[in-house]
C-alpha cells in the first residue's frame, strides 16, 4: 500500500470534476516495464545517497500504475520516473528509454509527486493528452492540486539515469519546486549551463517552477562532471 500521506492526497485528487470523453486507446506499458522487480527497486534507491533511500518508500511501475514495493520510515518516496511522467509537450514523452530515478522529500511527496501520479493514472487509463492537460489545469486552478509546499525538493543523482538520447546521464542534480507564480529570475536561474537552472522556462504548460541545481557527485559518491562540460 502507498504510505498514508500520499494515499490521502491521491484520494483527494481523485475527486476532481472531470469531463467524460469518448473512449481513448490505453497505452501499451510493456516497453516501459522492468521485468526484474528487484532491479527496479535498486534503480529507484540509486536516486539519492543511501542515508536517504535506505529508509524511503519505494514505488515500482506495474501494468496498472505505480505501486508500493517497500514501505519507508523517513517520509521520502523514490521511484524510477518514465518519460510519460513529464510534460506532454516533451518530444520524448513516449520514449521507453527514459529511466529517471528520483527521490522526493516529504513536502514534495504530498504536493508534487501526488499530482504526477494522478496524471499517470489518467494516461494509463487512456485519457487523451489534451484532456490530461485540461484536468491538470482545473486541478491547479481549483487548488485541489496544491502549490508545492515550502521545502519541496527531490534528488536525481543516480549514475544510472537515462534522461535523453543526446546526453543520457547528464549531471546529478537536486530539484527544488515552487509555485509557478514565482519567477525563475527570483533565484537568478538561467539556462542549462547555469549554476541554478530554470527547468520550467521552456514549458508553457508547467504549473510548477522546477529549479535544477547540479551537484558535485553521484549518489554512489563518484565524482560528477563539471557544470558546462556537457
Q: Is the pLDDT reported for residue 97 higher than 60?
A: yes
Q: Is the pLDDT reported for residue 174 higher than 60?
A: yes
Quickly list H helices, 31-147: 37-45, 50-53, 106-108, 114-124, 129-141
Q: Is the pLDDT reported for residue 11 higher than 70?
A: no
Question: For 158-177, what is the mean pLDDT?
Answer: 94
Looking at per-residue pLDDT, the higher value among 230 and 165 belongs to 165
Least confident of 23-27, 52-56, 195-199: 23-27
Q: Is the pLDDT reported for residue 94 higher than 80?
A: yes
- Please give the helix or strand (H or E) that residue 79 lies within, else none: strand 77-81
CA gap 41, 67 in Å, rounded: 11
Phi-psi region of 66 (alpha: psi -120 to 50; beta: other; left: phi over 0): beta
For residue 178, what pLDDT band results from cuts at 50, 70 and 90?
very high
Amino acid at each position: 500500500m502507498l504510505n498514508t500521506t500520499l494515499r490521502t492526497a491521491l484520494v483527494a485528487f481523485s475527486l476532481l470534476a472531470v469531463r467524460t470523453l469518448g473512449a481513448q486507446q490505453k497505452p501499451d506499458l510493456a516497453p516501459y516495464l522492468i521485468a526484474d522487480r528487484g532491479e527496479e527497486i535498486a534503480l529507484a534507491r540509486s536516486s539519492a545517497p543511501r542515508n536517504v533511500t535506505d529508509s524511503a518508500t519505494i514505488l515500482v511501475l506495474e501494468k496498472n500504475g505505480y505501486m508500493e514495493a517497500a514501505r519507508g520510515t523517513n517520509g521520502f518516496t523514490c521511484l524510477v520516473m518514465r518519460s510519460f511522467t513529464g510534460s506532454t509537450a516533451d518530444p520524448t514523452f513516449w520514449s521507453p528509454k527514459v529511466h529517471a530515478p528520483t527521490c522526493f522529500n516529504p513536502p514534495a511527496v504530498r504536493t508534487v509527486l501526488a499530482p504526477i501520479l494522478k496524471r499517470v493514472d489518467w494516461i494509463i487509463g487512456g485519457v487523451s493528452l489534451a484532456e490530461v492537460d485540461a484536468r491538470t489545469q482545473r486541478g491547479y486552478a481549483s487548488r485541489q492540486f496544491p502549490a508545492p509546499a515550502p521545502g519541496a525538493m527531490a534528488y536525481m543523482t543516480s549514475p544510472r539515469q537515462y534522461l535523453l538520447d543526446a546526453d543520457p546521464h547528464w549531471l546529478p542534480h537536486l530539484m527544488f519546486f515552487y509555485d509557478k507564480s514565482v519567477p525563475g529570475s527570483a533565484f537568478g536561474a538561467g539556462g542549462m549551463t547555469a549554476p541554478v537552472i530554470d527547468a520550467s522556462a521552456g514549458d508553457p504548460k508547467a504549473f510548477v517552477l522546477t529549479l535544477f541545481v547540479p551537484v558535485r557527485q553521484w549518489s554512489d559518491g563518484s565524482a560528477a562532471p563539471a557544470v558546462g562540460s556537457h
